[in-house]
């Protein structure tokens, strides 16, 4: 979340809006630019990162708040809320299932390779604030970036514990621009890539799925979704993904690749707030489509397992709103695959509870408004994509610790994953190893000891996807 990702997610609104989600890069479900990643990562271990994240978060949060307010006024949101009220009252019909404390409506999920594959991912976890740490100018050794924000190196014991707990998928966010041996041609440092490969193998060797991406490289120096920077952006995306695809072409489908993290207009007034009437936003939508297509074409061209590998492509900010825009175009797969392109979404919803600070520290599945904020954006994604056979993966979500409001966080975690699964979507919790404080505290397991700091949240994530 750093966070350039900006957790600011449209959050609550995103669900309601079908317009455009967040800002480019670290936002998830909140306004167009509010992403979780940006926020989470910003809660870094170093004071320098903390202040950086803080300012980034405040601007994102205020943007998201305004976006959220406008969205809540939309009729589409009201319709979704009404629909959810109707759905939750039909617990005695044949199309609902009782899962622990929740009554969940079941949706028809088209059968194809893509939707079946997303089911196999079950529930996952993000190795946040680790390989995506960036611009750590106080470091002299690039290999120290891995622990610069999180304070610990990744161990096999950590992955063992995640596997034993029931997590099936690990997302490994990686920033590459501080690890280039040839900056002009964007050639990745061999020792950095070797270490990323080693941690990927920790997961693959334990029969887990892994998502590899380009994370905090969204800048005018590397890739930036604006026509003014498209030549450089296409060179960067093509070079990085050509190297990664060739490196991992012999890895089977346990490895997924994700084009970009929360692509957005970093530094722009609409970084985290989508405005369809804004010419720069319209330009960014088109550029993101081009970069997603270039990513797919580049990976497919390397052959091996990459010819059929599952690939994730986000919309603006990776927000639900960004993927729901009519301007968002799913890439064409040059190979005759059966739905192997997955829509990637980040969702820190409802924003006021999950990401905003101070926001609110309470959420209850007994509250109809609280529930509708979650199911609205899920219903919209289901209707546009899953119902039509296109797989969707929510590969960042979560709620921050606000003075140990654990009961509400557990309730949201269980309700969230159960309802996503009912609509054919799997979810990955964002974990930045930050447990308490006034920053983005999404950590639920201690990286140094591999002991659970919030076992209740872990249990809810596993329990409510194990049906």
Greatest CA span in the chain, whole angstroms? 63
pLDDT of residue 310: 98
Fold (topology level) of 11-463: TIM Barrel (3.20.20)
- On whether the CB atoms of residues 225 and 260 are closer than 8 A, the answer is no
For residues 44 and 152, give the distance between their C-alpha atoms in angstroms, rounded to a whole number. 12
Write down the pLDDT at residue 94.
Answer: 72
Contacts (Cβ under 8 Å, ≥6 apart) of 83: 379
pLDDT of residue 73: 37
Specify whether the CB–CB gap between 189 and 179 falls below 8 A. Answer: yes
Catalytic site residue from 37, 262, 271, 440: 262
The number of C-alpha atoms within 13 Å of 264 and in the hemisphere containing its C-beta is: 45
Percentage of residues of the chain with pLDDT beyond 90:
79
Q: Give the tens place of pLDDT for each residue, 336-377.
A: 999 999 999 999 999 999 999 999 999 999 999 999 999 999
215 is catalytic: yes
Chain mean position to CA 387: 21
One of 61, 146, 373, 396 is an active-site residue; which one?
A: 396
The runs of H, that is alpha helices, within 17-171 are 36-42, 47-72, 75-88, 113-121, 145-148, 156-165
Select from 380, 290, 392, 284 the least CA-distant residue to 341. 392
Strands (E), 179-266: 180-182, 187-188, 209-213, 255-258
Token pair 């921050």 in the structure block, residue? 400
How confident is the model at residue 70, as a pLDDT? 37
How high is the pLDDT of residue 37? Answer: 38
CA–CA separation, 272 vs 32, rounded Å? 4
Active site residue 142: no
Catalytic residue (one of 215, 216, 268, 339): 215
Q: Which helix (H) or strand (E) holds 311?
A: strand 311-319
177 assigned to active site: no
Q: What pLDDT score was predicted for residue 198?
A: 98
Question: Which residue positions in the chain have pLDDT lower than 70?
Answer: 1-93
């Amino acid at each position: 979340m750093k966070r350039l990702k900006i957790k600011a997610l449209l959050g609550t609104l995103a669900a309601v809006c079908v317009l455009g989600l967040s800002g480019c890069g670290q936002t998830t479900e909140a306004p167009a630019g509010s992403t979780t990643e940006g926020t989470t990562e910003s809660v870094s271990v170093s004071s320098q990162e903390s202040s950086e994240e803080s300012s980034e978060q405040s601007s994102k949060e205020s943007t998201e708040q305004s976006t959220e307010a406008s969205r809540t006024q939309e009729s589409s949101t009201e319709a979704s809320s009404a629909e959810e009220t109707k759905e939750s009252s039909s617990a005695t019909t044949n199309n609902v299932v009782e899962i622990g404390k929740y009554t969940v409506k079941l949706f028809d999920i088209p059968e194809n390779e893509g939707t079946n594959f997303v089911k196999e991912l079950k529930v996952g976890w993000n190795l946040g604030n680790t390989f995506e740490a960036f611009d750590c100018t106080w470091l002299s050794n690039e290999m120290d970036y891995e622990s610069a924000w999180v304070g610990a190196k990744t161990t096999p014991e950590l992955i063992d514990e995640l596997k034993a707990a029931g997590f099936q998928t690990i997302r490994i966010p990686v920033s590459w621009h501080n690890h280039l041996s040839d900056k002009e041609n964007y050639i990745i440092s061999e020792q950095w890539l070797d270490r990323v490969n080693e941690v990927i193998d920790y997961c693959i060797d334990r029969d887990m799925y892994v998502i590899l991406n380009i994370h905090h490289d969204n800048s005018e120096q590397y890739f930036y979704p604006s026509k003014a920077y498209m030549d450089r952006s296409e060179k960067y995306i093509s070079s990085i993904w050509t190297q990664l695809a060739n490196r991992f072409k012999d890895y089977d489908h346990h490895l997924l690749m994700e084009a970009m993290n929360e692509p957005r207009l970093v530094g722009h007034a609409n970084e985290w707030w989508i405005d369809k009437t804004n010419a720069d936003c319209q330009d960014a939508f088109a550029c993101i489509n081009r970069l997603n297509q270039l990513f797919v074409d580049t990976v497919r061209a390397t052959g091996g397992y990459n010819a059929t590998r599952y690939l994730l492509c986000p919309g603006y900010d990776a927000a639900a709103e960004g993927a729901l825009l009519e301007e968002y175009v799913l890439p064409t797969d040059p190979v005759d695959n059966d739905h192997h392109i997955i829509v990637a979404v980040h969702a820190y919803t409802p924003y006021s509870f999950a990401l905003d600070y101070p926001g609110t520290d309470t959420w209850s599945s007994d509250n109809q408004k609280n529930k509708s904020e979650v199911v609205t954006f899920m219903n919209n994604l289901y209707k546009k994509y899953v119902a039509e056979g296109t797989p969707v993966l929510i590969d960042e979500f979560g709620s921050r610790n606000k003075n140990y409001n654990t009961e509400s966080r557990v309730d949201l975690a269980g309700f969230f994953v159960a309802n996503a699964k009912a609509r054919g979507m799997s979810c990955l919790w964002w974990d930045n190893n930050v447990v308490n404080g006034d920053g983005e505290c999404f950590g639920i397991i201690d990286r140094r000891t591999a002991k659970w700091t919030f076992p209740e949240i872990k249990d809810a994530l596993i329990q409510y996807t194990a049906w």
